[in-house]
Structure 1
Amino acid sequence: MTNRPGNSPLTPTRRAAGVLAGLALGVALLAGCSSEGASTDCGINACTVTFERGVDANASILGVEAKLVGVQGDQVTIEVAGEQLTLTTGQQAAEVGGFAVTLDSVTDQQVKVQVSANAEG
């Protein structure tokens, strides 16, 4: 049997270190998501934010702040990464601060927005 460098199996210590690093990354991603007057459902590079209407609603997602500024009919003004944009349901994604933002729905009670990291950003 020939012992070749680079082909050795992972030692238990290395395997445990890899698992712990993965868990730490997952916890960091979850901990980076907070909100007030809103709920969030986040993946690795996208979040759905459901803002409650009639309150000062905001969420910290994907390393940026998203805030509901106003609603008028089917138009919603939000602020993402310090920039305001006005969206309507069914509109193509708007680009802002390296993110693609779309308006999913508007009701009397809530506004649902999708924010995803721009693959080209």
Structure 2
Amino acid sequence: MPRRRIAAVLASAVLGLALLTGCGDDVSCGLDQCTVTIQRETNASVEVLGVEAKFVSADENTVTLDIAGEKIALTKGQQAVDVGGLMVTLTSVTPEAVQVEVSR
């Protein structure tokens, strides 16, 4: 019985590590939440939690992103938006980049 528990713990650790290693330089991940920075330039994109997030447009308070093929508009201070089972929140907008939090 202890061997099965050890195997289960190791399997969980490997799965968690696989999720974390899916994060790149523009993505900082915890167990089930990532902070994503996307440059404000044409065709800028990052992959997060298995989906691609692309920059579409932005102004001072609103950002439009294409996440997993679905265009969404996010506003600073707005509650999280559900996109394909992921919750997405706009955390900052600068002249160079936008930052969003993505969670499961």
| TM-score (ref. length: structure 1) | 0.71
Is 1:27 aligned to 2:17, yes or no? yes
* SS at 2:31 equivalent: coil
Tell me which of the two structures has the higher relative contact order, counting C-alpha pairs closer than 8 angstroms and 6 or more residues apart. Answer: 2
Structure 2 residues not aligned, in runs of 5+ = none
Distance in 2 separating the partners of 1:86 and 1:39: 20
Is 1:59 aligned to 2:49, yes or no? no
Which ranges of 4 or more aligned residues in structure 1 deviate by more than 6 Å?
Answer: none
Q: What does residue range 97-108 of structure 1 map to in structure 2 within 5 Å?
A: 97-108=84-95
Is 1:93 aligned to 2:54, yes or no? no
Query: Over the residues paired in the alignment, what is the CA RMSD in angstroms?
Result: 2.3
| TM-score (ref. length: structure 2) | 0.81
* SS at 1:30 equivalent: helix
Q: CA deviation at 1:44?
A: 2.1
Structure 1 residues not aligned, in runs of 5+ = 1-5
Distance in 2 separating the partners of 1:95 and 1:64: 13
